[in-house]
Amino acid sequence: MEIVMLRDVIEEDLEIFFEQQMDTTANFMAAFTTMDPSDNVAFKAHWEKILNNEAIIKKTVMYGGKVAGYVSSFEQFGEREVSYWIGREYWGKGVATEALSQFLDCITIRPLYARAAKDNIASIRVLEKCGFEIKGEDKGYSNSRSEEVEEFILKLSQ
């Protein structure tokens, strides 16, 4: 298996993140995505805010020397949350689980929360493998699905 590593996000990663974000299958699975994944201007503005916000912890996921996605932690709904995006070509290889596990070793903030669409079984499995437990449910409008979608709220206590 190729090695998964985390490193700081650099400007050159953004082009790859943008390409990954335009994948319609990945957008459907993630559910809670940007209004228009093909809007590069909005994408760049969003990432400029992320890069300039020291309260957001963000890391690029490297797999076999290539940018596979990112993992981040930020404040949302008054709680500290974790989120990740892995390019579809890296799905099913353990990249998300290993990247999230490494990220959780780096940040000691607990509790941490995560959200996943109820039908995103793979993401729920990644979170559970990393110690998250389903603690609640919510629903919200999904831009990628053009409908309200139910989601699980997961919590990592330790």
CATH code of the domain in which 130 resides: 3.40.630.30
Asked whether 131 and 104 are in contact (CB, 8 A), the reply is: yes
Residue 92: domain span: 4-156
Tens-place pLDDT, residues 59-115 = 999 999 999 999 999 998 899 999 999 999 999 999 999 999 999 999 989 999 999
- Apex CA 41: angle with CA 36 and CA 44, to 5°? 100
**CB atoms near residue 3 (< 10 Å):** 9
**CB atoms near residue 86 (< 10 Å):** 25
Tens-place pLDDT, residues 128-149 = 999 999 999 999 888 888 799 9
What is the total count of domains within the chain? 1
pLDDT of residue 36: 85
pLDDT band with cut points at 50, 70 and 90 for residue 150:
very high
- Apex CA 108: angle with CA 63 and CA 158, to 5°? 100
